Structure 1
Amino acid sequence: MQLALNLGYWGSGTHQDNVHLAQEAERLGYASVWAAEAYGSDAPTVLSWIAARTERIDVGSAVMQIPARTPATTAMTAATIDAMSGGRFRLGLGVSGPQVSEGWHGVRFDHPLARTREYVEIVRKVLSRGRLTYDGQHWTLPLPDGPGKSLQLTVHPVRESIPVYLAAIGPKNLELTGQIADGWLAIFYAPEHAAVALDRLRAGSAAAGRSLDGFDVVPTVPVVIGDDVAACADQVRSYAALYLGGMGSREKNFYNQLAVRMGFEAGAAKVQELFLDRQHRAAAAAVPHDFIDQTSLIGSQDRISDRLRVYADSGVTTLSVALPAGTAEERVQTLRSMADALDASGTGH
């Protein structure tokens, strides 16, 4: 197992602090650094900034939103960042959710699986530098009744293929990820419940006649180091409550549904009810401790080192560290402590 750094949304820290974190992660031997986007900063700009200030560490989008860009634009962006970074880009994609897709991008949130499949096929076709033609349910290229012509990417990617990752939560999306992607970007990953998700990935991969050899399982895991486990958990509560309560509507919140499948039905319902009622502090307090403990790395460095073995044994190949709390220097120290914890666990490579 190797380590990565997830910077989250760019607004969560100053520009220089985030660059410093990425540079420190590179110095410590972290494999990659990832950036997210929702309806604030965009991931490609952040990753270009990071790539220009590092030399070896990979840069990845976790995620670039599928409804935000045409597949050809995503392929152009991927090829550009990969070329400018010397072959260090990892393309993470996700459909987002109905509120963002329809409210921010004006794209109907329908047929997400079919859209994702076609999107990835077009992206890969563009990156292969063949002339772009596509006849699908959601995209037809060129448009059949106009002046459009079949074009070819003019940029030469550094590598023959750029790895594609999918953010997936639901069972069918996990199967699709196993079928068509090179890696899985997971959130609220609990080793105790991982077998169900990994079985879905394997089923998808088998249906496509491929194996998961070399497949990258990348959960983003909040990390807070300290002697008081409960106090460490408190630093993760607002983050968890935002997703369980606010990332979606009462009827459709994929993160809340995941918590329910993990056995936290009552807690997930209470968090959502409080959050949607704008009682954000109460919602954070209502997040079950066991949910945080299973999906985060909290407590002493020794406790975390023991837990890293559990993550590795469950099938994680890259553990992406998220830093929900602390000053700039404390966050740097957490990166260092995680590198030490990985060494102590005996699971690093």
Structure 2
Amino acid sequence: MRLGLNLGYWANADQAKRNLALVQEAERLGFSVAWAAEAYGSDNPTTLAWLAAQTSTIELGSAIMQIPARQPAMTAMTAATLDTLSEGRFRLGLGVSGPQVSEGWYGVAFDKPLARTREYIDVVRKVLSRKTVEHSGPTYQLPLPGGPGKALKLSLHPYRTDIPIYLASIGPKNLELTGELADGWLAIFLEPESAHEHLDLIAKGRAKVGKTMEGFDVAPSVPLVIGPDPEVCAELVRGYASLYIGGMGSKEQNFYNRLATRMGYGEAADEIQDHFLNKRYREAMAAVPYEFVDRTSLLGPVERVAERLTAYAAAGVTTLSVSVFDSDIEDGVATLRGLADAMERSGVGE
């Protein structure tokens, strides 16, 4: 199992500086990848290009580039550019986002996400292969029929034509699609004890196209807080958990809320969402069960974190990417060093 770093969202220059410091420390410690996110604030291609210019060995991934934000040909151009400038260090993570962002921010109807994702990846791969791109589907038609457009191919000679593609997916059908189409899975709220339920669906998708799980990257994002008391550590993660379970989507359409429900926390998930959507944020945080946070995070002393790393590796995780809940840069750097120590103690590193 390898280690990664998930930077999440950032909202100001100080946070950007913090991200750079953490990525450079992660590189020094031998982490394999750092991921940048986007929602409706900072975009991640710009962030990743900035990080690539100030690092040399750590790989850099989008977690995620939002499918409704860009035409697939532009995503492929961006991926080829980032991979070339970083000399083969880019990983393309994609996701459909959610209905509120897709329709409210980008003006793109949130319909048929599975079919849209399938078409999107097909066009991206065609562009990266430097084939002349022709595609006729319900969502994308290249070139548009009856007009002056003609089929084109990528004019850039990319560093790689097989840039690895990851999908962020949660529901059963999306997990199966991930196995069928992608090279890796970006997971959230993954607990080792039930990981097989998700991975079985991914394996089913891979079997459809004659593939096994060999070489497939299972890459969850896992909150990390190191300290003497796991319950105190969990307090720092409650806001993150309540945001996703309660606020990432509408009452009718929240994938993370559904995931928590499938994990056995339906009553708590409903309470969190009710508080969050009514702007009772403290109450929403308080409603997040400690057990849920503990099952899906790395909390407590280094020795306890090492035990959980062993469990994640045994469950089939191949790249464990941590989200650090730090008070300042020095605290964040110390946390990454503590994780490296835990990794060494666990003996599950490559």
TM-score band w.r.t. shorter chain: over 0.9
Q: 3-state DSSP class of the match of 2:264? A: coil
Shift of residue 10 of structure 1?
2.6
Shift of residue 215 of structure 1?
0.2
Which stretches in structure 2 are left out of the alignment for 5+ residues?
none
Structure 1 residue 215 and structure 2 residue 237: aligned? no
Which stretches in structure 1 are left out of the alignment for 5+ residues?
none
Structure 1 residue 246 and structure 2 residue 242: aligned? no
Between 1:16-25 and 1:59-68, the stretch displaced more is 16-25
Distance in 2 of aligned mates of 1:165 and 1:203: 17
Shift of residue 152 of structure 1?
0.9
Matched AA of 1:29: G
Runs of 4+ in 1 over 3 A off after TM superposition: none
Matched AA of 1:43: N
Distance in 2 of aligned mates of 1:62 and 1:139: 23
Task: Map 1:42-191; keep pairs closer than 5 Å.
Answer: 42-191=43-192
Shift of residue 326 of structure 1?
2.1
- Count of residue correspondences: 349
Q: Alpha-carbon deviations, 1:110-156, whole Å to 9, x = none? A: 00000000000100000000111011121110001100001110111
Matched AA of 1:168: S
Q: Alpha-carbon deviations, 1:46-99, whole Å to 9, x = none? A: 000000000011000000000000000000000000000011000000000000
Distance in 1 of aligned mates of 2:335 and 2:86: 26
Asked if structure 1 preserves the Cα contact closer than 8 Å seen for 2:130 and 2:161, the reply is no
Task: Map 1:318-337; keep pairs closer than 5 Å.
Answer: 318-337=319-338
Matched AA of 2:3: L
Shift of residue 329 of structure 1?
0.5
Q: 3-state DSSP class of the match of 1:222? A: strand
Shift of residue 211 of structure 1?
1.4
Sequence identity, in percent?
A: 60
Distance in 2 of aligned mates of 1:4 and 1:309: 16
Equivalent residue, structure 2, for 1:7 = 7
Equivalent residue, structure 1, for 2:238 = 237
Shift of residue 207 of structure 1?
1.2
Distance in 2 of aligned mates of 1:10 and 1:232: 22
If the length of structure 1 is used for normalisation, what is the TM-score? 0.99
Asked if structure 2 preserves the Cα contact closer than 8 Å seen for 1:10 and 1:35, the reply is no
Equivalent residue, structure 2, for 1:40 = 41
Asked if structure 1 preserves the Cα contact closer than 8 Å seen for 2:80 and 2:160, the reply is no
Asked if structure 2 preserves the Cα contact closer than 8 Å seen for 1:239 and 1:324, the reply is no
Q: 3-state DSSP class of the match of 1:16? A: helix
Asked if structure 1 preserves the Cα contact closer than 8 Å seen for 2:102 and 2:110, the reply is yes
Q: 3-state DSSP class of the match of 2:317? A: coil
If the length of structure 2 is used for normalisation, what is the TM-score? 0.98
